Structure 1
Amino acid sequence: MTTSTIKSQKLADDFGNSDLKLKDIIKTLPQECFQQNRHKAWAKVLTSVLMVCLGYLSLIIAPWFLLPLAWIFTGTALTGFFVIGHDCGHRSFAKRRWVNDLVGHLMMMPLIYPFHSWRIGHNYHHTHTNKLDEDNAWHPIRTEVFESWGKIGRSSFEGFMRNRLWWIGSIMHWAVVHFDWSKFREKDQSSVKLSVAVVVLFAAIAFPILIATTGLWGFVKFWLIPWLVYHFWMSTFTYVHHTAPEIPFVAESKWNAVLAQLSGTVHCDYPRWIEFLCHDINVHVPHHISTAIPSYNLRFAHRSLRENWGAYLYPECRFSWSLMKRITDQCHLYITDTGYQSFNDYHAGR
């Protein structure tokens, strides 16, 4: 058993034997963390719009050998659109609901991401973070579930993980979940239908115009590849935020909100230009303590959590190939009450 695993078990015992509630953590945060600032909020919108325009300008003027850099920049800037929509989904962008809904739809529209579909599903993730079979963001596959799949299903999933294809995970999630309103509660279906109609209408107008004026290559160059880069970051942020060999996923009967949100969520540092374009979405722990904290207050809130709850936070990490290799090599299947198991260990034990 590793030192990190021992620490994780100790934290679980500490929280399980205490009456500490999530609201007790929230009370220790300065009130300034929750204050909305319309100037900062709209400055984020202006920044993202300018950076995306700069990205598309670079795609227009860049010689072919610089296109990969332009694609990376543009796709990362588009991720900033999603983060603003993310604030809108949590009602932390503006005080008025209609403003949040309008801006959220406008920001997610170029990404073909139905706003209300994502908002409703994502709030469910916050309610059930790191809960086995309930967390709908990026949950591990239990060994018994894996074994219930057919040979093709098992081979496909194992190939997906072994070939480090985590970066297409959000595309699969987007395609399977967000356009099917029958998967949502009846009272939410009208909102979901509205959001689906918005993005379908946008695609029906924008895509033919783009293809007619720039050809199929223009569609690939100006929309598809930047969109794939955006999904790379969507998948990566989600994966890294909630996945590490020592982070537990537990059954509902043993689930503790404080342990899940404070100690089961990962802070990861990225190159500063990525954090700038993505509005500090990587500063993720305070966002799980309270979704009311706007993105421009996340760093302030994180400093407070370090000061007051540092001993309970998962060790901070830095984005790197070695980090992704560690996660993708070890976090394959999940054994209830035990933890992650690699495919190598799984096959060795059979």
Structure 2
Amino acid sequence: MQTTVRSPGSSEFSRQDLPFTLKDVKAAIPEYCFQPSVFRSLAYFFLDIGIIAGLYAIAAYLDSWFFYPIFWFAQGTMFWALFVVGHDCGHGSFSKSKFLNNLIGHLSHTPILVPFHGWRISHRTHHANTGNVDTDESWYPIPESKYDQMGFAEKFVRFYAPLIAYPIYLFKRSPGRGPGSHFSPKSPLFRSNERNDIIVSTGAILAMVAFLGWFAVQFGFLAFVKFYFVPYVIFVIWLDLVTYLHHTEDDIPWYRGDDWYYLKGALSTIDRDYGIFNEIHHNIGTHVAHHIFHTIPHYYLKDATEAIKPLLGDYYRVSHAPIWRSFFKSQKACHYIADQGSHLYYQPEKK
């Protein structure tokens, strides 16, 4: 099969053709965008916690099956917003204090069963290798030969039910990268000097699981399902939907070997418009600037994006299509890449 080569604009998207450097991009962004505000970051954290607590209070008070569907969607969405706060902590863009980042990161991620340090480290790998077919960590494409060897269950989760994949990923990693639990300090995902961090985060998760078990015993399994499990599932769907759409589009290039380098890979993502949810989930859909400079706090991403758009030109990707239309389009068009070649694009499902 021939490798498909496409590009933004009329020029071939290769190392020598990028008309700007990482230094140029950084110079275009106002300096304040790189300076996190502890007060502002904490305000978002406490706002999310306050809304989550309020939703629980209303649901418990009403105890109405007419209200529960509204509660489930709203609370699952707020779990996702809380995850994004922890996401800033993992990048060090919440504050310049490592202690505060780790503390708020655990307070944000542990209640939604995300091991903060385990996620932080694998996500660091993703950012350092975005767009690299061989070394990216999240939602990377599968070579055609591997795709042909995948069994039904693996294909079903990866291509037909990707919105439930995240808990599986935490335990098993993604296909083609070998074993790698986010909970084990001996996982190949982590360096030996990071094992204590993993123990801390996994211990926090075990404590949360114990609390949920106590809650189910104390108040009944149905209460556990109503107040935690269904909102958690909605959160997982949000997480998988948004992260999938960050990097899965049939005109986003992927690279192998010497054709990849950091800035080119960082541009292999796309900004998307989530409408009324943009502010609720802290503008995580504003993703191009985030991948170039992940230390920009979420509340400055729109400012940074507007600053770099004139410089990036056609290399900046944005979609204003409805999110579910984009999802189903990518789900149909993005299944595998060619086994050979260094500049690659997703190919559609085989008939």
* Global fold match (TM > 0.5): yes
Shift in Å, 1:55: 2.4
1:5-26 deviation per Cα after TM superposition (whole angstroms, max 9, x unaligned): 343783513x434584323311
Correspondence 1:158 to 2:155: yes
Shift in Å, 1:275: 2.0
1:302-321 deviation per Cα after TM superposition (whole angstroms, max 9, x unaligned): 11122332321113333432
Q: Which of 327, 330, 346 is the aligned partner of 1:327?
A: 330
The separation in 2 between residues aligned to 1:98 and 1:75, in whole angstroms, is: 28
The percentage of counterpart residues that share the same residue type is 28
8 Å contact 1:59–1:71 — kept in the other structure? no
**Runs of 5+ in structure 2 lacking a partner?**
173-180
Worse overlay, 113-122 or 253-262: 253-262
Shift in Å, 1:84: 1.0
CA RMSD in angstroms comes to 2.2
Worse overlay, 77-86 or 166-175: 166-175
Q: SS in structure 2 opposite 1:51? A: helix
1:179-209 deviation per Cα after TM superposition (whole angstroms, max 9, x unaligned): 12222211111111111011112221x2133
Hey, what does 1:278 align to over in structure 2? 281
Q: Which of 256, 269, 272 is the aligned partner of 1:268?
A: 272
The separation in 2 between residues aligned to 1:279 and 1:18, in whole angstroms, is: 30
8 Å contact 1:52–1:77 — kept in the other structure? yes
Spell out the pairing of 1:98-247 with structure 2 (5 A cutoff). 98-147=99-148, 149=149, 153-160=150-157, 164-176=160-172, 177-183=181-187, 184-204=190-210, 206-247=211-252
The separation in 1 between residues aligned to 2:155 and 2:42, in whole angstroms, is: 44
The separation in 1 between residues aligned to 2:80 and 2:58, in whole angstroms, is: 17
**Change in 2 beyond 3 A, CA 1:301/1:179:** same
The separation in 1 between residues aligned to 2:163 and 2:129, in whole angstroms, is: 23
Read off the aligned partner of 1:321 and give its amino acid letter.
W
Read off the aligned partner of 1:291 and give its amino acid letter.
H
Shift in Å, 1:33: 0.7
Shift in Å, 1:62: 5.1
Normalized per residue, the structure richer in helix is: 1
Q: SS in structure 1 opposite 2:231? A: helix
The separation in 1 between residues aligned to 2:218 and 2:77, in whole angstroms, is: 25
TM-score under structure 2 normalisation? 0.89
8 Å contact 2:270–2:288 — kept in the other structure? yes
1:107-147 deviation per Cα after TM superposition (whole angstroms, max 9, x unaligned): 11101111110111101101000101211111111112223
8 Å contact 1:8–1:247 — kept in the other structure? no
- Matched length: 335
Hey, what does 1:90 align to over in structure 2? 91
Q: SS in structure 2 opposite 1:341? A: coil
Read off the aligned partner of 2:203 and give its amino acid letter.
A
Shift in Å, 1:233: 1.1
The separation in 2 between residues aligned to 1:309 and 1:91, in whole angstroms, is: 25
The separation in 2 between residues aligned to 1:249 and 1:9, in whole angstroms, is: 18
Q: Which of 311, 316, 322 is the aligned partner of 2:314?
A: 311
**Runs of 5+ in structure 1 lacking a partner?**
none
Read off the aligned partner of 1:284 and give its amino acid letter.
H
Read off the aligned partner of 1:79 and give its amino acid letter.
W
